[in-house]
Amino acid sequence: MAPALRLCALALALLPAAVAAQEVAGDCRQYTNRSCEECLKNVTCLWCASSRRCMEYPVRRILPPADLCELRSARWGVCWVNFEALIIAMSVVGGTLLIMLGVCCCCCCCKKKSKKPDKDDERAAREREKRRVRQEERRAEMKSRHDEIRRKYGLFKEENPYAKFEN
C-alpha cells in the first residue's frame, strides 16, 4: 500500500507542473500578432515571422517542422537569428573545427614519424661513424710513419729542446 501512496503523492506533486506547462502553451498563443520580443520573453515560445504567430516550441523535434513555420521565418531565443542562418553558421563552425582537428592529427602523426629515424638515416649515421674511425686510424698510421722517418734521419723532436745543453 505504501508504494501506491507514494505514486499518488508524486502524481499530485507533478500536477501543478503539468498545469503550468499547459498555461505556458496558452501564454505563447496569446502573443500572436504582437512583437517578436514579447513572444520570445518566454523561452518555450517560437515566433514565426511570416505569419506573425507565437507558438509553443516543438520540443520533441530539434527543428520546427515546415508545416508549423518555415526555417527562414522561425525565431527562437533572439529575434535577429533565424533557424536557417543558425544551421548554416553551425555547419560552417562544425566543418572548420573538423578540418582543424584533422590538420592537428596529421601534424601529430608527421611529428611522430620524423622523431623516429628511418633506415636510411641510420645507415648514413653508421657509414659516417665508420669513415671517422678509418680516418683516425689512417691519421695515427701516418703519424707513426712520419715519426719513424724523423728518427731515421735524426729530425725527431725531443720533448725538451734544452736537454742537449744540460750535458
- Counting residues of the chain whose pLDDT is more than 90, the rounded percentage is 35
Segment 21-67, tens digit of pLDDT: 444 445 788 988 989 999 999 889 999 999 999 999 888 888 888 88
Last residue of a domain, one of 27, 50, 81: 81
If one counts the domains in the chain, the total is 2
Q: pLDDT tens, 111-123?
A: 766 666 678 888 9
Q: How confident is the model at residue 160 (pLDDT cuts 50, 70, 90)?
A: low
Q: Residue 160: inside a domain, yes or no?
A: no
- Region 154-167 average pLDDT: 64
For residues 134 and 114, membership in a common domain is answered with: yes
Q: Which residues contact 42 (CB under 8 A, 6 or more apart)?
A: 24, 27, 28, 31
108 and 138: one domain?
A: yes
Q: Is 106 domain-assigned?
A: yes
Give the rounded percent of residues in the chain with a pLDDT score beyond 70: 74
Query: Which domain does 126 fall in, by range?
Result: 90-152
Q: For residue 5, tell me if it sits in a domain.
A: no
Question: Is position 3 within any domain?
Answer: no
Same structural domain, 74 and 100: no
46 Cβ neighbours under 8 A, 6+ residues apart: 28, 39, 54, 55, 56, 57, 58, 64, 68, 69, 74, 75, 76
In a domain, 31, yes or no: yes
Q: Which of 63, 81, 99 is the last residue of a domain?
A: 81
Strands 78-82 and 74-76: antiparallel
User: How is residue 41 written as a grid cell?
Assistant: 520573453
| Mean model confidence pLDDT for the chain | 80
pLDDT at position 133: 97
Q: For the purposes of burial, counting CB atoms within 10 Å of the CB of 84, is it exposed (0-12), middle (13-18) or buried (19 or more)?
A: middle
Sorted by sequence, the CB contacts under 8 Å of residue 160 that are 6+ apart come out as none
